[in-house]
Chain A
Amino acid sequence: MSKKYLSAIIFFSVLIIVELSFYAYLFLHNYNFLLLNPKGSVSTQQRDLLTFAALLASTIIIPVFLATFWIVWKYRSGNSQETPSSELHPRFKILWWALPSLIIMILAVTTWFAAHNLDPLKPISSSNKPLTIQVVALRWRWLFIYPEQKIATVNYVAFPTNAPVNFQLTADAPMNSFWIPQLGGQMYAMAGMQTQLHLMATSTGEFQGSAAEISGQGFAGMRFKALSSTQADFDTWVASVKNSSSTLSYKDYRKLASPSEDSKVVLYSSVEDNLFHQVMSQFVDAKK
């Protein structure tokens, strides 16, 4: 009886070890685990929080696992000498509530402060000048409007490193979710209203951005690139966009808002004033 189990358990453990070593191999070979490889101030704190929560949970999980295996092994029917009436001392009844409560209390306090510290609505304090970027989720592409620079882009967003970026989000489509894994996230974009997400890149580089919420047929292809560069490079980029040929009026926007899949990057040298608010107000009463 127990031999059979032993072989099954060994088989199972070997399998898990094989699988884990495969993952370790991938990890060591510079696989880009985006969430564990943050490039922004918010995402770094989120990663640290994740690690902390995982370690905290391990302090109870690992003993529970070891205890389970030990009990199962020691008290299997072929082995155990006990009479089934043996009981654990009643004081453990209280302890079994106290232990998880303790862990959860620590985590709850952490959560309260973390939720406030990392509130996406809260501006990031920095000596560098913050940048506002307005984001419209369409079917199925991302439109980025730079109200200060008066330029716009599709499926491509650039900003200076170490400058706080204030993303203002809305949608002219079903609800979507705006996410740049290496910088932090995620925030919903919804029609007729504005949500906010403050992020800041701490190193230069090109990052993946995605649409994390299903919004119809083409949402899987709704990915964008996020470029973090030095202030000088960013200024050069803005200047080059200003020299591109296309412009974006509300009429052009209406065309852009019609459904299309896997769209390319587009740059607009100028954009109609207040376009972002026009997009939002089309869902609100015209008479107001």
Chain B
Amino acid sequence: MKEFLFGNLTLAALPHQWFTIGGTISMMLGGLLTIVLLTYFKKWRWLWGWVTSTDPKKIGIMYIVVASLMFFRGGLDVGLIWLQQATSVGASHGILSADHLQQVFTAHGDIMVFFVTMGFLFGLINIIVPLQIGARDLAFPFLNTLGFWLYVAGAILINLFFVLGGDFAATGWLAIAPLSELQYSPGVGVDYWMWSLQISGLGTLLGGINFIVTILKMRAPGMTLMKMPLFTWTSLCSMFLVVSIFPILTVTMGLLFLDRYFGMHFFTTSFGGNAMMYTNLIWMWGHPEVYVLILPAFGVYSEIVSTFTRKKLFSYTSVVISAIAVTVLALSVWLHHFFTMGAGADVNAFFGIMTMLIAIPTGAQVLNWLSTMYKAKIRFSTPMLWFLGFIVTFTLGGVAGVMMAVPPIDFQVHNSLFLVAHFHTMIIGGALFGIFAGFTYWFPKVTGFKLNERLGRYAFWLWLIGFFVSFIPLYILGFLGATRRLDHYAASTGWQPFFIIAAVGLGIIILGALMQLTQIAVSFFQRKQNLDTTGDPWDGRTLEWATSSPPQHYNFAIIPKVSERDAFWEMKQKGLSKPTNYEDIVMPKNTPLGIYVAVFCFLIGFALVWHINWLAVVGIVGALFCVIWRTFDENTEEIIPASEVARLEAEREQNG
């Protein structure tokens, strides 16, 4: 009976280590405090409005809030990793056990990729893409709220072991088989890993479909594909990659689940299973995933460069072509992650060359940005600083990447800290700096006030310096033969000074992150001085600047007509005309079904982690029921009458 009710979840599994008990208590207190505050300030209805919202702007903000929280969690992890590696030399085994450290870096990788970078990007794309293409909402508003809440369900599941016990995967972020098979990882860690990513991955996939349809079918009249803003272009490319690769991830983790749950033999060592297939499949997803992260960042940089130079981007066509080329090539390079598997010279050379081909469109892209800046009047606001920081770091990281694409060089640096330094350069210097640039750039659009520039500059310099102090030692450690994921190493290796410098660098980065928090707080309290009353604080070029900051629920009172690239810039040149008569606007209604389905999916994940079969059935039936319920709801849209639109616009006019 007990086993029927609770599966493998026993009292012994509940938290009993200092870090898990601490996690439990702080989460409970945090939850309690939230409930008290919400009740005290009578904010429950307000919260419900957010939770059930189908407005991509609100969903985007929620993505960014959750991603920031997860950034904090991933940051805690990296603090532990650096402290461990700076201290665990010789006889000292540092502050963590091997198993604990392995869980920490596994979580660090998964959280930073799936819940931080992806979360921030989906946030930006949700807020900006509809505005840039002159749309009022997404193609499938319900799928958008569902996708977001599935992402939240995954985020909770990956942290759940703090509260409910068990452990996390100690396998590295991709849980390579057969290490992740039941034979070698009997605990629930890999199951938590699997279901957290499976559920949030489903959300990502839904988002991918949604944005492809939105971008291809809902652009303002006159906006042909080759007149789309570049952030929209690269988001489209990124989403194309999402729908091409996330099904692979779903199946791969699904098969691992069948192995672990039903004793099947896909990736097991025996009974004919083939673990090499897992490595292939997971990297067929994993490599393009990197480009899912980097492509939208490219788009952000393109927008920023042309805005802050007040120039058209140099060679728009070639920038678009390079984004498409990167997208296509990204799908055919996965094998470079395991040249060391012994596939033979022909295969290795082929994938090596395919990999370095990516440097051609990327290089052309960088040169086009520089050409745009040539003979301009460049304004160095913070978004532009992040862009310059990106050029420096990304080029260095790119060189390291091209070097590793040569198989015989890779044999020597594979799994070394050189590799770790390389991909952090790409993801921090490329994707994360792009996110920060976009965040600063579009912040006034969302909130109606600009961020404090001075504090922003401090944050930028702290990040950039911290980055180099932290990661240059890692490149060097690679040359010293240091491999990744070590929980201890011998004193004779001479690695310790480098690990200590890297930890100092992390300290500087943390100061940078704190500076960003300060920047947001200070800007909020001084918002009266930084108000953006025009909706166009940077003298922008694309349609998102054509509406107010923050935009009305319906984005545009009248859908703009587009005739040129940089549509808003053209409009400004021709002189803006004030609309006189408005039409009724149809908008999607809010729905709580997204969060309901996500709750049931969360239950499925939780139940399958602990083998509580009845709960899994409840979850599946519940989720299905909610989806079917939604299909019976014919009344999903509401009409904002023209008179109401006119009233809102007049009100805005007055306040502005």
Give A contacts to B, CB under 8 Å: 1, 4-5, 8, 11-12, 15-16, 19, 22-23, 26, 31-36, 43, 45-47, 49-50, 53-54, 57-58, 60-61, 64-65, 67-68, 71-72, 75-77, 80, 82, 84-88, 90, 92-93, 96-97, 99-101, 103-104, 107-108, 110-112, 114-122, 173-175, 177, 179, 181-182, 184-188, 190-192, 195-196, 208, 210-221, 223, 261, 282-285
Output the least CB separation between B643 and chain A (Å).
Answer: 42
In the complex, the answer to whether B406 meets A111 with C-beta atoms within 8 Å is: yes
In the complex, the answer to whether B342 meets A121 with C-beta atoms within 8 Å is: yes
B469 within 8 A of A: yes
| Pairs A-B, 6 closest by C-beta atoms | A100-B363, A174-B179, A115-B349, A86-B375, A34-B481, A96-B367
What residues on B are CB-neighbors of A283 within 8 Å? Answer: 269-270
**A16→B379 CA distance, assembly (Å):** 25
**A177→B353 CA distance, assembly (Å):** 23
What residues on A are CB-neighbors of B294 within 8 Å? Answer: none
What residues on A are CB-neighbors of B413 within 8 Å? Answer: 35
What residues on B are CB-neighbors of A208 within 8 Å? Answer: 481, 493
In the complex, the answer to whether A221 meets B488 with C-beta atoms within 8 Å is: yes
Output the least CB separation between B278 and chain A (Å).
Answer: 10
Output the least CB separation between B489 and chain A (Å).
Answer: 7
Q: Which of B143-151, B232-240, B387-395 contacts A (4 or more CB under 8 A)?
A: B387-395
In the complex, the answer to whether A75 meets B374 with C-beta atoms within 8 Å is: yes
Q: Which of B35-43, B122-130, B169-177, B246-254 contacts A (4 or more CB under 8 A)?
A: B169-177
| B279, B342, B359, B488: the one within 8 Å of A220 (CB) | B488
Q: Which residue of B is nearest A220, CB measured? A: B486
Give B contacts to A, CB under 8 Å: 98-99, 102, 170-172, 176, 178-179, 184, 269-270, 272, 275-276, 279, 309-311, 314-315, 317-318, 338, 340-342, 344-346, 348-349, 352-353, 356-357, 359-364, 366-368, 370-371, 373-380, 388, 391-392, 395-396, 399, 402-403, 405-409, 411-416, 457, 461, 464-465, 468-469, 472, 476, 478-481, 483, 485-490, 493-494, 497, 501
**A85→B363 CA distance, assembly (Å):** 24
In the complex, the answer to whether B370 meets A67 with C-beta atoms within 8 Å is: yes
**A66→B335 CA distance, assembly (Å):** 34
In the complex, the answer to whether A46 meets B349 with C-beta atoms within 8 Å is: no
**A5→B457 CA distance, assembly (Å):** 10
**A179→B412 CA distance, assembly (Å):** 8
Beyond A96-B371, A115-B352, A120-B342, whether A175 also contacts B275 by CB under 8 A is: yes
In the complex, the answer to whether A34 meets B479 with C-beta atoms within 8 Å is: yes
Among B344, B396, B490, chain A packs the most CB atoms within 10 A around the CB of B344
**A57→B403 CA distance, assembly (Å):** 9
What residues on A are CB-neighbors of B342 within 8 Å? Answer: 120-121, 187-188, 195-196
14 pairs, A vs B, C-beta closer than 8 Å: A26-B497, A43-B412, A88-B314, A88-B374, A96-B368, A100-B362, A108-B356, A110-B406, A111-B353, A112-B353, A115-B406, A118-B407, A121-B344, A186-B340
In the complex, the answer to whether B494 meets A75 with C-beta atoms within 8 Å is: no
In the complex, the answer to whether A217 meets B170 with C-beta atoms within 8 Å is: yes
Beyond A119-B344, A177-B414, whether A100 also contacts B275 by CB under 8 A is: no
In the complex, the answer to whether A32 meets B494 with C-beta atoms within 8 Å is: yes
What residues on B are CB-neighbors of A33 within 8 Å? Answer: 476, 479-480
